[in-house]
C-alpha cells in the first residue's frame, strides 16, 4: 500500500502475553478518521468494551499520531492517547506536544495499541521500528524526571520517553502520562490506566521520514500559515512572551476567573501570578514543541533549580482555585505534579473541593483556602494515596459524593472544571455540559469567540446562537485534534489551511467542510460509546452552583448559566432526540449506521 502522510501501520503490544506485532491500517480508516483523536476514538469504540472496568485488562491505550505529524506544518508535534477513562467512565482522549509523537511516527507507526496487563512492571522500547518489552522493576517508584534520566542513560539521548510517575503506579484517578519530562497527557486519568497495566514507560526513537504527496503545495501552505502565525499578536507576541499565563489578567478582568472552588470569580492576587509577574520574577527561558514557531512553554528558576513553569490552567488550579497567590508555591506545586505524574487541573480542583468541605465542616482534612504548606503536602499524599490523599485520589466527584454533598464537586461527568467561570461565558457553559469527556475547555474552546475574538467576538452573556456555535467549534476541534495540530496555531490559522495542508500531505483531496464532517462523525461516535457506557444526557449538566448561584461581584455580576434552553437547542441542532441520543437519521447521514449505542 503506497501512502503519503500516513505510514498505514500500527504496532500492537499485548502485555498479557508479551506478543508484539505490526498491523496494517486500512486506508479507508485513515482517510475517514485521520489519526490522533479520531482514529483513537474509532479503535476504542471497536475494541474496548463500554461496560468494562477502565482499570481492568479489557481497557486499551491507543497512542496515535496524525497525518501532519512529522511534516513541516507548524504545530504538528502533538499526539494523543485514547482509552476508557477511570475518572469519567467515558471514552477519553488526551493529547500533548513535545517530541514523543514525532519520534513514534519516525518509527513508521501511526498507532500504538497497548492491551492486556503485565504481571510485573515493564517498559516498552521502540527504536527504529524494533520493539521490545523490558523489565522495569528498578524504575517502579521513580518520579517522572528520574525515569526519563534512567531511560535516556540506558537507551541514548535520541529516545523520547512517555511515562507515569508514582501517581500512575498507584492508580490515582487523575494520574497523567508525562512525555519529554514535563509535557502532560494530563486529563482523564490515562496514567492510572498505564499504571494498572504495569507499564512504566514507552521510549521511542526512529529515523523514518514522512512522505508528503505534494511537497511544493505543502511548502506554500506552510509559508502562508507561518505568515499568519507571525502576524497575529496572540501567536507572535502574547504566547511567546508570557506563555499561556497571558490569560490571567484577561479572564480576571472579565470576572470569570474562579477562586476558592468557584465561590468567587475575581482574584485579588491576580497581579502576583500573571504572565507579566512570571516574566518579571522567575522566568528563565522559553521551550517549544517540534516545529512550533510559537514556543509558549516557560522555563522558570527558583533558587538554583530550573523547572518547567506552570501553564495558565495549572497556575489557576494550584493557585486561585485553592486561594493561593504565592507564585513560587504554585510553581513548586506544579513541578511536584509533573514529577509525580498528576493532572494539575484535577489535582487543584479536587484540593479546592476538599478545602470548601473543610470550611463547611463536612470533611476533616485540615486543608484551608490559602494553605500553601498544606497544598504541597497533600499533593504528595494524593500521589501515594496516603492519609487524606486516599480520599482525594478519587477526584472531586467521588470526594464530594462520599461527604454527601455532591454539589461541591466542581466537575462534569467526573472531570474537574478548568479555569473559566461559565456563568460569565454562556457558550463555555454549554461546552462544558455537553463535552463528551466532561468539563473540558478545549472541546469547544469558546475562549476564542467569547474572549479572544477568534474567529470573531460574540456577546459572552448571550445564549442566542450559542448552540450552533458550540457545535461548530466542537466539530472542527475534533478534526484538528485528529490532525494532531496544536490549538494555538488554530488561533492564527483557519481550518482552510489545515485542509490544504492535509491534502498536500496525503494526496487525498480534503475541503474545510470535510474537516467539519469528520469532526461531527467523531463527536457522534464518542457520544455513542458514552451512551453504551451509561453516560447519558443526565450527565450533560453543570454543578448546581453554576446554574443557581449568581456571580456576586465584578463585570459578570448576577450571572448564572442558562443551560436549559441552550441544551434543548443543542440537541436539536445536533440532530439528536430530546434525550440527547443521536437519531437513526443522523447516524445514517453521517454514515455511522453500522455503529450503535
Site of interaction with other proteins (CB under 8 A): 227, 230-234, 236-239, 241-242, 246-250, 274-276, 452-457
For other proteins, the closer CB: 101 or 275 = 275
Smallest gap from Cβ 405 to other proteins, in A, equals 36
d(CA 563, CA 540): 10
- CB of 456 vs other proteins, minimal distance in Å: 6
Smallest gap from Cβ 425 to other proteins, in A, equals: 14
Beta carbon of residue 250, minimum distance to other proteins (angstroms, whole number)? 6
Nearest to 595 by CA among 55, 231, 50, 103: 50
Which CB, 28 or 456, lies closer to other proteins?
456
Which residue's CB is nearer to other proteins, number 80 or number 274? 274
Least CB distance from residue 325 to other proteins, whole Å? 17
What are the C-alpha distances in Å from 135 to residues 56, 59, 119, 445, 485? Answer: 21, 22, 11, 41, 34
For strand 199-205 and strand 130-135, is the pairing parallel, antiparallel, or unpaired?
A: unpaired
CA dist 527 and 530 (Å) reads: 5
How far CA 421 is from CA of 142, 239, 326, in Å, comes to 37, 22, 22
Residues 6+ apart with CB under 8 A from 405: 357, 360, 362
Distance of CA 157 to the CA centre of its chain: 27
For other proteins, the closer of residues 453 and 544 by Cβ is 453
**Residue-by-residue DSSP string for 133-147:** EEE-TTTTT--HHHH
* CB nearer other proteins, residue 243 or residue 264: 243
Give backbone dihedrals phi and psi of 412, rounded to 5 degrees, phi first: -130, 125
Cβ-based neighbours of 64, under 8 Å, separated by 6 or more: 35, 36, 37, 39, 40, 43, 79, 80, 81, 82, 110, 111, 112, 484
Report the nearest approach of other proteins to the CB of residue 245 (Å).
8
Q: Please identify, using beta-carbon distances, which residue of 458 and 471 lies nearer to other proteins.
A: 458
Q: Which is nearer to other proteins, 352 or 424 (CB)?
A: 424
Residue 82 CB, nearest distance to other proteins (Å)? 31
Helices (H), 106-245: 144-155, 166-169, 190-196, 215-231, 233, 239-242
How many other C-beta atoms are found inside a 10 Å radius of the C-beta of residue 359?
Answer: 17
3-state secondary structure of 444: helix
Report the distance separating Cα 68 and Cα 75, nearest Å.
Answer: 9
Supply φ then ψ for residue 82, to 5 degrees: -120, 150
The CB-of-242 to other proteins minimum distance in angstroms stands at 6
Smallest separation, CB 90 to other proteins (Å): 32
559 within 8 A of 461, measured Cβ to Cβ: yes
Give counts: helices (H), strands (E), the chain.
Answer: 28, 17
Q: Of 109 and 497, which has the nearer Cβ to other proteins? A: 497
Please report how close the Cβ of residue 121 comes to other proteins at its closest, in angstroms: 44
- The nearer residue to other proteins, 557 or 568, going by C-beta atoms, is 557
Query: Least distance from C-beta 224 to other proteins, angstroms?
Result: 10
Among residues 231 and 557, whose Cβ is nearest to other proteins? 231
- Give whichever of 285 and 455 is closer to other proteins, judged by the CB atom: 455
Question: DSSP of 40-75, one letter per residue?
Answer: HHHHHHHHS-TTS-TTSTT--EEEE--TTTTSSSTT
Q: Which residues pair with 91 in a beta bridge?
A: 84
Q: Which residue has the cell 475575581?
A: 266
Could you tell me the smallest distance in angstroms from the CB atom of residue 397 to other proteins?
33
Residue whose CB is less far from other proteins, 387 or 555: 555
Residues 6+ apart with CB under 8 A from 272: 325, 326, 327
Amino acid at each position: 500500500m503506497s501512502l503519503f502522510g500516513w505510514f498505514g501501520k500500527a504496532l500492537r503490544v499485548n502485555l498479557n502475553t508479551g506478543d508484539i506485532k505490526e498491523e496494517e491500517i486500512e486506508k479507508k480508516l485513515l482517510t475517514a478518521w485521520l489519526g490522533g483523536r479520531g482514529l483513537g476514538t474509532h479503535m476504542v469504540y471497536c475494541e474496548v468494551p463500554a461496560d468494562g472496568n477502565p482499570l481492568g485488562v479489557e481497557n486499551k491505550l491507543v497512542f496515535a499520531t496524525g497525518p501532519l505529524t512529522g511534516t513541516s506544518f507548524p504545530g504538528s508535534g502533538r499526539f494523543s492517547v485514547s482509552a476508557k477513562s477511570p475518572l469519567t467512565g467515558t471514552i477519553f482522549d488526551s493529547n500533548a506536544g513535545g517530541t514523543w509523537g514525532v519520534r513514534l511516527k519516525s518509527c513508521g507507526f501511526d498507532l500504538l495499541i497497548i492491551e492486556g496487563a503485565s504481571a510485573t512492571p515493564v517498559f516498552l522500547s521502540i527504536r527504529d521500528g524494533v520493539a521490545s518489552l523490558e523489565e522495569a522493576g528498578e524504575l517502579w517508584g521513580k518520579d517522572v524526571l528520574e525515569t526519563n534520566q534512567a531511560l535516556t542513560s540506558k537507551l541514548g539521548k535520541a529516545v523520547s520517553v512517555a511515562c507515569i510517575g508514582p501517581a500512575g503506579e498507584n492508580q490515582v484517578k487523575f494520574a497523567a502520562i508525562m512525555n519529554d519530562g514535563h509535557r502532560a497527557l494530563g486529563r482523564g486519568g490515562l496514567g492510572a490506566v498505564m499504571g494498572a497495566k504495569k507499564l512504566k514507560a514507552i521510549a521511542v526513537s526512529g529515523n523514518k521520514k514522512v512522505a508528503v504527496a505534494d511537497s511544493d503545495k505543502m511548502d506554500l501552505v506552510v509559508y502562508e500559515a507561518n505568515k499568519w502565525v507571525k502576524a497575529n499578536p496572540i501567536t507572535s507576541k502574547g504566547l511567546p512572551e508570557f506563555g499561556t499565563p497571558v490569560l490571567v489578567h484577561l479572564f480576571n478582568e472579565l470576572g470569570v476567573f474562579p477562586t476558592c472552588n468557584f465561590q468567587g470569580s475575581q482574584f485579588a492576587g491576580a497581579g502576583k501570578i500573571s504572565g507579566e509577574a512570571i516574566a518579571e520574577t522567575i522566568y528563565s527561558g522559553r521551550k517549544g514543541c517540534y516545529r512550533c514557531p510559537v514556543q509558549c512553554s516557560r522555563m522558570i528558576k527558583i533558587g538554583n533549580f530550573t523547572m518547567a513553569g506552570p501553564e495558565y490552567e495549572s497556575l489557576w488550579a494550584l493557585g486561585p482555585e485553592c486561594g493561593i497567590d504565592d507564585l513560587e508555591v504554585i510553581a513548586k506545586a506544579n513541578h511536584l505534579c509533573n514529577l509525580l505524574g498528576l493532572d494539575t487541573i484535577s489535582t487543584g480542583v479536587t484540593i479546592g473541593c476538599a478545602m470548601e468541605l473543610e470550611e463547611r465542616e463536612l470533611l476533616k482534612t485540615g486543608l484551608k483556602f490559602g494553605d500553601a504548606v498544606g497544598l504541597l503536602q497533600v499533593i504528595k499524599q494524593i500521589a501515594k494515596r496516603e492519609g487524606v490523599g486516599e480520599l482525594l485520589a478519587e477526584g472531586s466527584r467521588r470526594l464530594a459524593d462520599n461527604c454527601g454533598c455532591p454539589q461541591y464537586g466542581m466537575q462534569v461527568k467526573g472531570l474537574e472544571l478548568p479555569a473559566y467561570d461559565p456563568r460569565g461565558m454562556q457558550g463555555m457553559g454549554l461546552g462544558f455540559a455537553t463535552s463528551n469527556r466532561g468539563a473540558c475547555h478545549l472541546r469547544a474552546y469558546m475562549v476564542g469567540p467569547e474572549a479572544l475574538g477568534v474567529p470573531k467576538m460574540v456577546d459572552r452573556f448571550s445564549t442566542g446562537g450559542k448552540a450552533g456555535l458550540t457545535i461548530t467549534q466542537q466539530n472542527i476541534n475534533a478534526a484538528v485534534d485528529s490532525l494532531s495540530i496544536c490549538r494555538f496555531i488554530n488561533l492564527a490559522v483557519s481550518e482552510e489551511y489545515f485542509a490544504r495542508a492535509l491534502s498536500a500531505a496525503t494526496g487525498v483531496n480534503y475541503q474545510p467542510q470535510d474537516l467539519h464532517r469528520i469532526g461531527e462523525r467523531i463527536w457522534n461516535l464518542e457520544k455513542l460509546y458514552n451512551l453504551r457506557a451509561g453516560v447519558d444526557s443526565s450527565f450533560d449538566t453543570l454543578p448546581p452552583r453554576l446554574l443557581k448561584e449568581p456571580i456576586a461581584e465584578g463585570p459578570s455580576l448576577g450571572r448564572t448559566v442558562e443551560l436549559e434552553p441552550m441544551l434543548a437547542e443543542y440537541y436539536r441542532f445536533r440532530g439528536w432526540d430530546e434525550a440527547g441520543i443521536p437519531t437513526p437519521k443522523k447516524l445514517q447521514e453521517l454514515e455511522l449506521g453500522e455503529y450503535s449505542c
